[in-house]
Structures are given as structure tokens and as C-alpha cells.
Amino acid sequence: MSANPIEMQNFTLMDEDEIQQRIVAAKAVLGDRLIILGHHYQREETFRHADVAGDSLKLSRSAANSKAEFIVFCGVHFMAEVADIVSRPEQIAILPDLAAGCSMADMANLANVERAWRELSEVLEPDEQITPMTYINSAADLKAFCGRHGGIVCTSTNARHVLEWAFEKREKVLFFPDQHLGRNTGFSMDIPLEEMVVWDYEQPMGGLTPEQIKNAKMILWKGFCSVHQLFTPEYIDEFTEKYPETNIISHPEASFEVCQKSDYVGSTEYIINTIRDAEPNTRWLVGTELNLVNRLHEQFKHEGKNVHFMSGTVCMCSTMFRIGPSSLLWVLENLVEGNVVNQIKVPADEAEQALLALNRMLDVSP
């Protein structure tokens, strides 16, 4: 091991081609000791180095099944935390840029969720009547909260199966942090909109009356992904007026109105597979992050598939695709030198409880 880690600043002004070549070289030296997991939202220059590319569920499974000593996550903080929790203790999870986060995940924090649980206990018996269910886009301490209160984690792929599991356990579900995934999934299971109330974490009792809480089947945290809120039913209408043959496909983090107007709704992996398997010469309007939409366009244009972004305005999630090739190279060359930088380590007691909720999810996922 070298005495000091190589500093990041050595890489920031490096020529792009050189960075690309050195990443390939460092991967070759590390061999089976390394796995790079890449979420579909990553920018191309980083994404191309992923050994496994996938949505949140696929990447969680890859982390759980990997034997590699180093799991380098080209994704965001909560994904690297999951990799640390589901992998063996001697494996090391690394996030090349610590600023890679998810603003929606930050909309629910442990203090607010615990306060909600206490306030709900003024009206109900939460530990008997409510299953807490967190979207994987959340911090490890919230997954641990779900673990110790008989709850569970979900991703956009398995939300329906997980919700069915949650309702088998208790009559109500507290779903956080993404109200849209909760509402879209609940509605697809025939839960009426009036039985899904929104918990405003900035207000006492979530801004709800005791009656509203008692009558609700799902209590949805007031969180959202700003990128997916860009998509509107009006834009879909305008677009389909021009191109009536368009297939509409959205991620379930988009609003209820957008998902209702969509022909297909599903995770990033589902979106890719649906467009890949579609007939040639088809047109697609896609409601998810722009890097993925651009990649789909490039990948399938030779089949005459036209893939469009569902908005005239570009709003990138600057934290989701934060990891650039220079930070990836920085962590890899440090590993070659025997230095671990940017390790993500969840405290042991928290990891143990979060693992309960994650394993429940992995067990019920198809």
C-alpha cells in the first residue's frame, strides 16, 4: 500500500482519452477483485465501464451476489449503501464521487419519519396497523427503521409485489419518500385515490385530520423526484397530436396524470427492454432521465426507432449522473496502489436492521 492516497486533483485536468485508456488499464490490473456497477442514468463516458448495468433492483442483486473485493458503484449514495449492506463484511463498497446523491431520498429523514410514527400513534397503533415501506431511494437509517418496525424496501420494479406483501402484514402502509411511486402503484392495485392521503412532513400530523388517517389505506410521504415532475400530460397531448402513432412510456416516479396517459409504466430496465423488444420503425415518448433517453435513441435509431424525451425543457438530475470518468479513474488507480478512497460503510447495527428490510424485498421480488 502506498503511504498516501493519490489526490483527486491529479485527474481533474487530464485529457479525456487518457482517462478512458487508464480506466481500462486499471480495470485489467484489478481483474476479478473489482466489479463496477452502473445505473442506467450514468453518463456515457462513465457508463461504458460498468461490468453490470441495471436498475436499482438488478444492481442490488448484483451487489448481493458478487464475490469481488471492491464494489465500485457508478450511481448514487443510497445505492452504494445498499451494496455495502447486502455484501459480505469483507467486501468494500465505493462511491467515486460523494456528492452523487438523490434529492428525493433527502426529502425523508429519520427524525421526520420517527415523528410521523409517533404522531400516527395518537390515532392508530402503528406497529400493529401500518407497514412502513421505503423506496430504495432512501438513506440506510430509513431502511433500518423499516427493518425494526416489520417493514420493507421496494424498487420501482417490485413495488407492486412488495405492496401486496405489506398489506398481507398490516391493513395500512406508510410509504416514503416518493408519493408518486406509492400512488401509481396503489392505484394499479385498485386502491381508490381518496384512500391514499399525502403526509406533509412539514406540518403537525402531516396536515391530516384523524379521520383522514383512519380512512386511509396508504399514507404517502410528500416526496418527489424533480426530474420526473417535468413531464406533463399537456406535453404528451401536444406531442401525440403531432405524432399520433407514438407509444408513451414513463417511469412510475412521474405524476399520476402522466402515468395514466402512458401506454407503459415501469423501471429504467423495463423501459429499455420494452423499447428494445418493440417493432422497428416505432416512435417513443419517454418520461425518465435524459441520459438514458439519449442512449436509447442512439442505440435503436438504426432500427428506425424514434426515441424522444418527454419535455421541451432539459433538466438533468445533476447528482444522479454526477460520477465522471475522472473520479472513477481516481478510485481505481488508488485501488491499484492499495488505497481505498470514498468507501461507503453503514454502521453495523443500522446495516443489520436495514438488511432485514432489504432481504424481505429480495425474497418477495419475482
**Binding interface with ligand 13P (CB under 6 A):** 40, 55-56, 137, 155-156, 225, 251, 253, 267-268
Cβ proximity to ligand 13P: between 69 and 106 the closer is 106
* Shortest distance (Å) from residue 357 CB to ligand 13P: 16
Q: Which residues contact 37 (CB under 8 A, 6 or more apart)?
A: 50, 51, 52, 54, 59, 62, 63, 71, 72, 73, 74, 75, 79, 83
Cβ proximity to ligand 13P: between 11 and 135 the closer is 135
Cβ proximity to ligand 13P: between 42 and 66 the closer is 42
* Shortest distance (Å) from residue 269 CB to ligand 13P: 6
Cβ proximity to ligand 13P: between 247 and 288 the closer is 288
Helix, strand, coil content of the chain in percent (nearest 5):
50, 15, 35
* Shortest distance (Å) from residue 74 CB to ligand 13P: 13
* Shortest distance (Å) from residue 288 CB to ligand 13P: 7
Q: How is residue 296 written as a grid cell? A: 436509447
* Shortest distance (Å) from residue 121 CB to ligand 13P: 31
Cβ proximity to ligand 13P: between 177 and 325 the closer is 177
* Shortest distance (Å) from residue 154 CB to ligand 13P: 10
232-240's contacts with Cβ under 8 Å and 24+ in sequence apart are: 232/257, 232/258, 232/311, 233/257, 233/258, 233/260, 233/261, 235/310, 235/311, 235/312, 236/261, 236/262, 236/285, 236/310, 237/261, 239/285, 239/308, 239/310, 240/285
Cα(101)–Cα(34) distance, integer angstroms: 23
Q: How is residue 356 written as a grid cell? A: 432485514
* Shortest distance (Å) from residue 250 CB to ligand 13P: 11
Cβ proximity to ligand 13P: between 196 and 227 the closer is 227
Q: Alpha carbon of 148 to those of 50, 73, 87, 349, 362: distances in Å? A: 34, 27, 20, 11, 17
* Shortest distance (Å) from residue 75 CB to ligand 13P: 9
Q: Are 106 and 222 in contact (CB under 8 A)?
A: no
